[in-house]
Structure 1
Amino acid sequence: MGIQRDVRLGFKLVKDVTASRRAQRLLNGRLATREPLPGRHFKIAVYFADGPVNLYQMRQWYKPLAKLAETWPVLVLSRNGAGALPLIDESPVPVAYVRRVADLERVLAEQDIRIVFYVNQNSRNFQMMRYGRCWHVFINHGESDKMYMVTNQIKAYDYAFVAGEAALARLGKVLWDYDFDKRAIRIGRPQADHYSGTTAIAPDERQVVLYAPTWEGDRPSAAYGSIATHGVDLVAALLASGRHRVIYRPHPRSGVVDSAYGAANKQIIAAIAAANERDASAGHIYDSGPELGWQLSAADIAIVDISAMVYDRLATGKALMVTRPADPSAQIDSSGYLSDCEWLFDGQTGNIVAVLDELTHDDAAEARLTVWVQRYFGDTNPGVATERFHVAVQHLMNEWDRFDTANPRTDHIEASSEQGSLSADDGPDIELL
């Protein structure tokens, strides 16, 4: 068994290296044809050290960043070659590929970066945070009550942009000696002002159900995924009803840790394809596209796992159910929305049609939902969150001017003269590209 495993790992390594080198060649060709970035132009950077598997964390910020760039020029700093390729194609704001610390230093020396946004907690964020004279701001990639949202790592950033009162309460339970009034700034959810994508779904008598599960997690306390426990039976029952249209949008990491989740995911995808073959008018959708937003607005009811998708949907104020993790080790915040949400237990999935019928006519559930929307996001009228986002950025720009005036620059970042070598700071994070 050990030899077979080593052989499989060896083949995988060769495959990964080959794909990585191919991606590097494509990236080099793409970079060679681009115009150089204008000097001293960009005031805001978005630091992204991940590859394509986590690109969803950036995608939801594309349109808010594009709108912000109309006032403050924004530049994405990509540290990963495989991630930089799609970013260059997709991002509405310019992208700089800064694989090495020397590359990062060069871009910082050439630009006037005053605010750096971070959408996740990648360990390589620390390489960027070494630089002073700019505000390091955690903006995250969603609002949720997952354990990820209450990490003490938030203290490492100068500021955090949070959604609303619920986020402050959540952090207040775990952070000691943190200046919430200064460092945690409420902005709502500006992404909700820019829901993206279109669908060919034509309204008819079918009830549209969005099932958007998260991945299985990498430890028991984060085992929120429902694909293997709820998903197969749930989707099968909805496909068989003849009254529902399913939009199935699984997390892109589904099955990366547990092969059972990968197999269940494939089973659901195959069942959707078979249902559409039997009845093309059913219009069931397996959605793996980069655009997120149309699914939330098109669905009459959403069924999601404990993840940011709960709160993406909550911001719409429309009917919502949350799958209850089957693993008792999964950590659940019982003080926020999850203390009052409509739970879907794995034993209910076979009877999902009756469950959804009951929810559709539950006025009390709708009233509770409205209260929680206000607590998590504040005013959700169109454009309000975007305005709060821009006001928060303007505040930090004003603070930057104040500190810069009081502390004139006596040093500056110099671009490394060793552009052909790797900086020692890169350490074990060097890519095989």
Structure 2
Amino acid sequence: MKLVNDAKKAVALVKKARRSRAAYREVTGAMRQQGPLERGRFQIAVYFADGDVNMYQIRQWYRPLQELAKTWPVVVIARNATGAKAIVNDGALPVAFVPEVRGVERFIERQDIRIVLYVNQNTRNFQMFRYGRRWHVFINHGESDKMYMTTNQYKAYDYALIAGQAARDRLARTLWDFDLDNKTLDIGRPQADHYSGVTPFADDGRTVVLYAPTWEGDRPAAAYGSIATHGEALVATLLADPRYRVIYRPHPRSGVVDAAYGEANRRIIAAVAAANAADPSAQHVFDDKPELGWQLAAADVAIVDISAMVYDRLAVGKPLMVTRPVDPSADVDESGYLGACDWLTTAGSADIVPELTRVLEDPDTTSRLAVWVQHYFGDTAPGAPTARFHAAITQLMTKWERFASE
């Protein structure tokens, strides 16, 4: 068995290397065709050292960054070939593909980068930290109560842009000797001002259920994914019931670590396709598109794992359930919303209809969720998060100018 597994890993590595080389050729060709970026044009850079498997982390920032770029020009510094290729193909923001450190060096010399934004904790972020006389700012890729949200790596950045009071409390409980008041700025969730996409079905009276599980995680403490424990049972039940329409939106990393998890994901996707083939009017949806917004608005109830999707849905103020992790090692922080949420256990997922009915018919849902929305995001009125995001960047720019003139 070990030899078989080793052989599979070797084949996967070869395929990955080939794919990376192909992406490198394509993106370098695109860069040559584009020509050099205008010298001194950009003042804000988004540093992205990941491959395309983690594109969800930067894609959710495209629209807020495009809006910001109207005031402060923004460029993406991409270090990985497959990630750079995806960003170039998306065409949302200008790209500098600099796989080697000397390329980063040349780019920094040519541009007036005052703020560097980071959407994740890639270890290669450290290579960018070497450059002083600019602010290094962690903006993350979502608000949640995952253990990821309290990593001690926050201290490596000059500043962190956080969603609101819940994040502030979470960091205060966990990080020792972290200057929270001076190193963090609250901005809410600016992505909420740019939710996008067109609903691909008409309202026909079916109850729409969004099931948006996360991936399996890379360690027991982060084992929040529910596809293999809850997902197959609950989706099968809902697909078989003509009163329901399912929107299935799995995390793009599903199955990256655990092959069995990936297989369960593929079975659900196949089941959605089979249900639509049997009854085209059902219009169930397997959603793997980058746009996020219509799903949250169209769903009467959402079933999500412990992830940023809890809080994206929470901000909408509509009913949701959170899957209870099966692994006892999973780190579940119940000091916030997770201490008051509607949990879905594996037993409940096998008998999902009564669970959904209970949540949908709860008369206190709207008022209860409103309290948590304020705690996590502050003012969510249209335009308010964008205004706070821009105000935070302006504050950092003003401080940069003060330091630069000394």
Do Structure 1 and Structure 2 share a fold, with TM-score over 0.5?
Answer: yes
Residue 228 of structure 2: aligned partner = 228
Cα deviation 1:169-204 (Å, max 9, x = unaligned):
000001122222211100000000001222222112
Secondary structure at the counterpart of residue 208 of structure 2: strand
Matches of 1:256 and 1:323 in 2, distance apart?
20
Residues 28-177 of structure 1: matches in 2 within 5 Å? 28-177=28-177
CA, structure 1 residues 226+341, in 2 after alignment: closer, same or farther (shift >3 Å)? same
Moved more, 186-195 or 254-263: 254-263
Residue 353 of structure 1: aligned partner = 353
The letter of the residue matching 1:93 is L
Contact (CA 8 Å) 1:245, 1:283: kept in 2 or not? yes
Matches of 2:272 and 2:2 in 1, distance apart?
38
Moved more, 179-188 or 58-67: 179-188
Contact (CA 8 Å) 1:62, 1:91: kept in 2 or not? no
Matches of 2:5 and 2:361 in 1, distance apart?
53
Residue 380 of structure 1: aligned partner = 380
The letter of the residue matching 1:384 is A
Structure 1 residue 404, shift from structure 2 partner: 0.8
Structure 1 residue 91, shift from structure 2 partner: 4.0
Contact (CA 8 Å) 2:27, 2:88: kept in 1 or not? no
Residue 199 of structure 2: aligned partner = 199
Structure 1 residue 330, shift from structure 2 partner: 0.6
Structure 1 residue 7, shift from structure 2 partner: 3.3
Matches of 1:197 and 1:80 in 2, distance apart?
28
Matches of 2:282 and 2:336 in 1, distance apart?
37
1:363 matched to 2:370? The reply is no
Matches of 2:199 and 2:349 in 1, distance apart?
27
1:398 matched to 2:395? The reply is no
Cα deviation 1:236-284 (Å, max 9, x = unaligned):
1111111111000001111112222112111111111111011101100
The letter of the residue matching 1:111 is Q
Residue 308 of structure 2: aligned partner = 308
Contact (CA 8 Å) 2:197, 2:293: kept in 1 or not? yes
Residue 241 of structure 1: aligned partner = 241
1:254 matched to 2:221? The reply is no
Q: Taking structure 2 as the reference length, what is the TM-score of the superposition?
A: 0.98
The letter of the residue matching 1:204 is D
Structure 1 residue 2, shift from structure 2 partner: 4.2
CA, structure 1 residues 96+206, in 2 after alignment: closer, same or farther (shift >3 Å)? same
Matches of 1:287 and 1:4 in 2, distance apart?
33
Structure 1 residue 9, shift from structure 2 partner: 3.3
Matches of 2:327 and 2:74 in 1, distance apart?
42
Contact (CA 8 Å) 1:43, 1:73: kept in 2 or not? yes
Q: RCO higher in 1 or 2 (8 Å CA, sep ≥ 6)? A: 1
Residues 18-37 of structure 1: matches in 2 within 5 Å? 18-37=18-37
Structure 1 residue 27, shift from structure 2 partner: 1.6
Matches of 2:2 and 2:329 in 1, distance apart?
30
Matches of 2:374 and 2:155 in 1, distance apart?
26
Matches of 1:297 and 1:402 in 2, distance apart?
43
Residue 265 of structure 1: aligned partner = 265
Secondary structure at the counterpart of residue 246 of structure 2: strand
Secondary structure at the counterpart of residue 34 of structure 2: coil
The letter of the residue matching 2:138 is F
Matches of 2:206 and 2:338 in 1, distance apart?
28
The letter of the residue matching 1:193 is D
Matches of 1:10 and 1:342 in 2, distance apart?
43
Contact (CA 8 Å) 1:241, 1:353: kept in 2 or not? no
Gaps of 5+ in 1: 407-433
Secondary structure at the counterpart of residue 200 of structure 2: coil
Secondary structure at the counterpart of residue 241 of structure 1: coil
Matches of 1:260 and 1:7 in 2, distance apart?
18
Matches of 1:335 and 1:17 in 2, distance apart?
43
The letter of the residue matching 2:384 is V
Secondary structure at the counterpart of residue 40 of structure 2: coil
Secondary structure at the counterpart of residue 205 of structure 1: coil
Residue 296 of structure 1: aligned partner = 296
CA, structure 1 residues 284+133, in 2 after alignment: closer, same or farther (shift >3 Å)? same
Contact (CA 8 Å) 1:42, 1:75: kept in 2 or not? yes
Moved more, 326-335 or 364-373: 364-373
CA, structure 1 residues 172+91, in 2 after alignment: closer, same or farther (shift >3 Å)? farther
Residues 413-428 of structure 1: matches in 2 within 5 Å? none
Contact (CA 8 Å) 2:318, 2:365: kept in 1 or not? no
CA, structure 1 residues 178+2, in 2 after alignment: closer, same or farther (shift >3 Å)? closer
Matches of 2:19 and 2:175 in 1, distance apart?
42
Matches of 2:132 and 2:248 in 1, distance apart?
44
RMSD: 1.1
Contact (CA 8 Å) 1:45, 1:116: kept in 2 or not? yes
Structure 1 residue 364, shift from structure 2 partner: 2.2
Residues 201-216 of structure 1: matches in 2 within 5 Å? 201-216=201-216
Larger Rg, first or second structure (1 or 2): 1
Aligned residues: 406
Moved more, 1-10 or 381-390: 1-10
Cα deviation 1:217-240 (Å, max 9, x = unaligned):
111111100001000010011111
Gaps of 5+ in 2: none
Structure 1 residue 86, shift from structure 2 partner: 1.0
Secondary structure at the counterpart of residue 161 of structure 2: strand
Q: State, as a whole percentage, how many aligned pairs show the same letter.
A: 62
Contact (CA 8 Å) 2:246, 2:284: kept in 1 or not? yes
CA, structure 1 residues 241+3, in 2 after alignment: closer, same or farther (shift >3 Å)? closer
Cα deviation 1:345-396 (Å, max 9, x = unaligned):
1101122111111211102233221110110001111000000000000000
Contact (CA 8 Å) 1:238, 1:246: kept in 2 or not? yes
Secondary structure at the counterpart of residue 356 of structure 1: helix
Residue 412 of structure 1: aligned partner = none
